[in-house]
Each structure stands twice: as structure tokens, then as C-alpha cells.
Amino acid sequence: MNSIGHIIKTSREMLKMTQEELAQKVRVGTHTIEKYESGEQIPSTQTILKLSTVLDIPASELLQQNQVHTNSSPTNS
């Protein structure tokens, strides 16, 4: 299963876009894009919508991966 970070990175690379270019278009820092791609940070819903527009991929694909990641997180019971 692909993580949201993997989808972002793969889509960005297919467009021959650097992390810096993507960061400028989405209006976040380059370090933030690095964190998204490495899985250290999950983008907000608003940022996911911006990413989907810039990367020309369905927002639902990114949101679904975000939901899967959120649901698979361990909980303290």
C-alpha cells in the first residue's frame, strides 16, 4: 500500500518538479514537503487539496491515504 508521502513524491517526480518548486506552488516550506514525503508529517486537508491541484491527482486519492494512515495509528486503550 502506498503512503500519502510516497504518492506526493512519485507524482512530483513524474512532473519533473523539485521539492522547492512544489513548496512554492503549495505555499509551504521546502522542509515541510520533505517531511510529507518521508512520512514524518501528514498534510492538512487544505494542503492536500492544494497538492492535488498542483500535482494533478485526485484529492480523494490523497485523502484516502490520509484516512488509512490515521486509522492505522495505534491507540492507547
Contact in structure between 64 and 45 (CB atoms under 8 Å)? no
Spatial contact of 37 and 5, defined as CB atoms under 8 Å apart:
yes
Rounded mean pLDDT of 51-59?
Answer: 96
Per-residue pLDDT for 42 more than 50? yes
The C-alpha atoms of residue 69 and residue 3 are separated, in whole angstroms, by 8
Q: Quick one: pLDDT at residue 73? A: 52
Question: So what's the pLDDT on residue 77?
Answer: 41
pLDDT at position 63 is 83
Are the beta carbons of 20 and 54 closer than 8 angstroms? no
Percentage above 70 pLDDT, the chain: 83
List, in order of start, the domains of the chain with CATH numbers.
4-56 (1.10.260.40)
pLDDT at residue 76 above 60? no
